[in-house]
Chain A
Amino acid sequence: KAGVTQTPRYLIKTRGQQVTLSCSPISGHRSVSWYQQTPGQGLQFLFEYFSETQRNKGNFPGRFSGRQFSNSRSEMNVSTLELGDSALYLCASSLGGPQRSDTQYFGPGTRLTVL
């Protein structure tokens, strides 16, 4: 099976702009989660989508949003970019059941730089 793919791999934006990142999960996986990774804060959970519905949300401002399509592909959007949004954004897919043994598989990430 193909792994989780993320596009684009690298992005450079300026403050105030908005950006959209894309994630394609492993075939058959219905859950997509997004994480932000920075040197200072580490890996932080943004939100999770299952069957086109947001099930969980982390502690991030409303500038961060996402959606999931019927084929389980997901996008996340960041509006009004700030310098602090520079980070590696990781997407993970899983089967999405409630059991905590469910394993998440990660994509290579999108490196966002805000100037």
Chain B
Amino acid sequence: AQSVTQLGSHVSVSEGALVLLRCNYSSSVPPYLFWYVQYPNQGLQLLLKYTTGATLVKGINGFEAEFKKSETSFHLTKPSAHMSDAAEYFCAVNKGYSTLTFGKGTMLLVSP
């Protein structure tokens, strides 16, 4: 079975600080991993995805994630937080045939 676990339901950072959102996966096959962001009262927007190849994946809005097989992790980072980054972030694994399994989500709070 494939699953993802997000550590920390809430993460608070100051504007300009490093953002680190944690995601660990469990998969018996090579995982295909995604990060989505959800702003209030909106749907999910794709930030980035890992399929195969380069383990450092760059996404939109300055976010990136590194696939580490040895640590079964796919943490999301951004060097400098902006107020507009405040949202809920979801890590997901694609089980195939358009079926995503999501983590519980991490709410990112950015203070001035």
Write the residues of chain A forming the contact surface with B, with a CB cutoff of 8 angstroms.
Answer: 4, 6, 31, 33, 35, 42-43, 45, 48, 50, 55-56, 90, 92, 94, 96, 98-109, 111
A73–B7 Cα distance when bound, in Å, is 36
Write the residues of chain B forming the contact surface with A, with a CB cutoff of 8 angstroms.
Answer: 32, 34, 36, 41-46, 49, 51-52, 90, 94-105
| 16 additional A-B residue pairs with CB within 8 Å, beyond A33-B100, A105-B46 | A31-B98, A42-B105, A45-B99, A50-B98, A55-B97, A90-B43, A90-B44, A92-B100, A96-B97, A100-B51, A100-B96, A103-B34, A103-B49, A108-B43, A109-B42, A109-B43
- Residue of A50, A94, A100, A107 near B43 (CB, 8 A) is A107
- Residue of A4, A90, A102, A111 near B98 (CB, 8 A) is A102
Q: A90-B43, A106-B43, A108-B42 are contacts. A101–B98 as well, Cβ < 8 Å?
A: no
A16 CB → nearest B CB, Å: 27
Q: Are A101 and B99 in contact (CB under 8 A)?
A: no
Q: Are B104 and A103 in contact (CB under 8 A)?
A: no
Q: Are A42 and B104 in contact (CB under 8 A)?
A: yes
Q: Are B49 and A43 in contact (CB under 8 A)?
A: no
Q: A94-B98, A108-B43 are contacts. A101–B49 as well, Cβ < 8 Å?
A: yes
A97 CB → nearest B CB, Å: 8
For A43, A45, A111, which residue has the most chain B Cβ atoms within 10 angstroms? Answer: A43
Which A-chain residue is minimally distant from B46 (CB atoms)? A103
Residues of A within 8 A of B51 (CB): 100-101
Residues of A within 8 A of B98 (CB): 31, 33, 48, 50, 55-56, 92, 94, 96, 102, 104
B59 CB → nearest A CB, Å: 12
Residues of B within 8 A of A111 (CB): 41
A50–B99 Cα distance when bound, in Å, is 12
B45 CB → nearest A CB, Å: 7
B57 CB → nearest A CB, Å: 12
Across the A-B interface, the 5 shortest Cβ-Cβ residue pairs: A101-B51, A100-B32, A106-B43, A106-B44, A43-B102
